[in-house]
Amino acid sequence: MSQAEPTLSIDDESTPGAEATRLAAYVHDERLALYYRSLRQSLLAVLVNSLVLWWLLRDSAAPLALHGWLAATLAVSAYRLWTARGFARATPPDRRETRWYRHAIAGALLSGLTWGAAGFILFTAENSYDLSLLAFIIAGMCAGAVVSLAAFIEASLPFLALCILPFAVRLFAEGSLPAIQLGTIALLYLGFMALVTRRVHETLTRGFEMTHLRQRAEETVERQALYDDLTGLPNRRLLTDRLRQARAHALRQGNRAALLFLDLDHFKRINDSLGHSAGDAVLQAVAARLRDKLRETDTASRLGGDEFVVLLTELDGTLEHVIQHTHNTAERIRAAIAEPITIEGTQLHLSASIGVSLMPSDSEDTEDLLRHADTAMYQAKDEGRNAVRFFVHEMQQAIEARLSLEQQLREALARDELELYLQPQCDARGATFGAEALLRWQRNGQWIPPSEFIPVAEETGLIYDLGDWVVNEACRLLAGFRELPGCEALVMAVNVSTRQFTRMGFSDAVLAALERHRVPAAQLELEVTESLFIDELGTTQECMARLHEAGLRFAIDDFGTGYSSLRYLQTLAVDSLKIDQSFVRGVIDNHGDASIVRATLSMAQALKLTVLAEGVESEDIREFLVLLGCQRFQGYLFGRPVPAQAFREQLLSGEVAPPP
């Protein structure tokens, strides 16, 4: 197969002109087939009528003319029979060749000439019986032609004219009144038969057209029901049917089948940056590459979005051989997808995560097989994407555990079982000027680490509700702390995930929470990671600008572990940097960590940004950081995360720093 990229223009076959051409071709093919199907019966009628005419006129007509005419008629009939046999033996594509049409027209015209010759050379005005017999047979042949030749109006009308006009000419040439009257009747008969022939031709043509349109409508319904409109690949319904067939075949023959679940990595970026038309073009290109890499017995299908499924069937040999063959096929597909695609002048580089399940090794149930391949695909994504992974049952157990955790997290949100713990943030004197809000969840007496439930919340979309709850709860706590002596300007830092921050309406939700609890915006600090500026810079700038104008502060969490570009520090509304604890803990013993901290402090001073060091656990580290110029700290040296009530008591008993 060719590996050329699919065109991005509208399929020519769907244009009105192409549909009209297809309709005309169908009608032509059907008319030709009808002509050749009825030709044998027509030739039988020609043979019978010609022999009857020859027998009855053998005593009155000139022998040479009669025998010559019969020989010519039989020769033309033999030629037409030969073409009918050739057409019957030809394959459907061969039948579309123009030679069969030319043979049909030539045979009809030659037959018309022979019967016209009969009316001219066998004309006997002296014998009214023979004349009536000749007129009757010619009229009968014309009537038969209305049925057998009406499919081709360009053949039937000339046939009628060739049959009747020579006979009418002889009648008018005779000159007698009865002959002229009979000749007039012959012409009227010709006109009547022409009208009937045209009507029959139109009826046949409309019938063929209706049949074609009905077939096309049925094909369209079937295609829409079983195939994806964009790529032309089988959809989930047809894939499920073929999976059942593959299952039955595998159980009957003792072989195996494999299911490959493909998901394009970061496909959303293409739609967001180039538009959905470019995304559609990419999906069409991927579909073409899938077709190119598969056998005729395999199936490539599209489930929706950027998800594709490939079914490999009739896999024989040992399990190890099947696994190796499937892995090789999956790698070929992955490599093919990775080849550059040029869309609207832009060269794109794709990758795909592929999960594989085997039948019947993993499951004999088609739904389970698809679910297992999906599970393996997500495993490939979790391990860095652009990879092939085979399903193992431990994956399913992990998925079931995640599903259970998701359901329990939903219930925890609904029952208000979540809690914010607060860890103090202090200045160089040890006075508390703020706190970081840390989400905690206790289930059945056991603490669930955020590292377990936050990823589940992000994958399922629960992060939106979870994030709104955290912001609202932080504002509620701030409102209560503002009533304490010296805590009117206490700052609370809240971590915000990339998905939560880039959600439409996020800024409205934050501002609404501040207004609801009557908390000044300057007392809420949103902590974001550097990945936010890599993945969603456009959305980030607009949202940060709006919130910053309202008075909110922004801090970059875990600074130094990500992108660390001066560009976004200069252009975005950033107020503070939090040095990651991995650098802080080694700042005394590790020269590299100390250099990073020193460089960060110098850069922040030049950019007029505040700096907070995380993970400060000893007085030696605090003193060293103070010598380097750091004035804000967070860590176990100053306090562990505690419930809000315990933090409130600490504020009442300890020193509170002035606003930063």
Point out which residues pair with 633 in neighbouring strands: 426, 613
Q: Which of 628, 614, 610, 605 is nearest to 561 (CA)?
A: 614
3-state SS track over 113-149: HHHHHHHHHCCCCCCHHHHHHHHHHHHHHHHHHHHHC
Is 341 within 8 Å of 253 (Cβ atoms)? no
- At 151 the pLDDT is 81
Token pair 């955790």 in the structure block, residue: 405
Q: In this structure, what token pair is assigned to residue 549?
A: 């104008």
Helix (H/G/I), strand (E/B), else coil: 577: strand
Separation CA 367–CA 345 (nearest Å): 41
- Please list the ranges in the chain whose pLDDT falls under 50: 1-13
Is 32 within 8 Å of 95 (Cβ atoms)? yes
Sequence ranges of the domains in the chain: 12-222, 236-391, 464-640
The 8-class DSSP code of residue 6 comes to: P
Separation CA 597–CA 583 (nearest Å): 7
Q: In this structure, what token pair is assigned to residue 293?
A: 């890499």
Token pair 């990945």 in the structure block, residue: 531
Q: Which of 474, 414, 397, 411 is nearest to 443 (CA)?
A: 411
- At 243 the pLDDT is 87
Helix (H/G/I), strand (E/B), else coil: 55: helix
Main-chain dihedrals φ then ψ at residue 555, nearest 5 degrees: -125, 145
- At 659 the pLDDT is 56
Q: In this structure, what token pair is assigned to residue 574?
A: 């950033």
Q: Which CATH class is domain 464-640?
A: alpha beta
Separation CA 333–CA 310 (nearest Å): 10
Which amino acid, one-letter code, is at 630? Answer: C
Residue 416 neighbours by CB distance under 10 Å = 9
Is 622 within 8 Å of 654 (Cβ atoms)? no
- At 562 the pLDDT is 54
- At 236 the pLDDT is 87
Q: Could you give the count of Cα atoms lying within 13 Å of 9 in the half-sphere of its Cβ?
A: 3
Which amino acid, one-letter code, is at 48? Answer: V
Separation CA 586–CA 624 (nearest Å): 11
Sign of the dihedral defined by the CA atoms of residues 514, 517, 523, 526, in that order: negative
Q: Which of 75, 61, 63 is nearest to 125 (CA)?
A: 61
Separation CA 617–CA 639 (nearest Å): 9
Angle formed at CA 544 by CA 538 and CA 549, multiple of 5 degrees: 135
Q: Which of 140, 139, 351, 388 is nearest to 261 (CA)?
A: 388
Token pair 């076959």 in the structure block, residue: 13
Is 104 within 8 Å of 83 (Cβ atoms)? yes
CATH superfamily membership of 236-391 = Reverse transcriptase/Diguanylate cyclase domain (3.30.70.270)
What's the pTM value of the predicted model, to 2 decimals?
0.52
Main-chain dihedrals φ then ψ at residue 374, nearest 5 degrees: -65, -40
- At 320 the pLDDT is 80
Q: In this structure, what token pair is assigned to residue 332?
A: 């070929």
Is 350 within 8 Å of 337 (Cβ atoms)? yes
Tell me the pairing of strands 418-427 and 642-643: antiparallel
Q: Which of 76, 56, 64 is nearest to 116 (CA)?
A: 76
Distance of CA 445 to the CA centre of its chain: 47
- At 656 the pLDDT is 64
Angle formed at CA 632 by CA 628 and CA 635, multiple of 5 degrees: 105
CA distances from residue 380 to 141, 265, 346, 353, 557 in whole angstroms, order as listed = 77, 11, 28, 6, 28
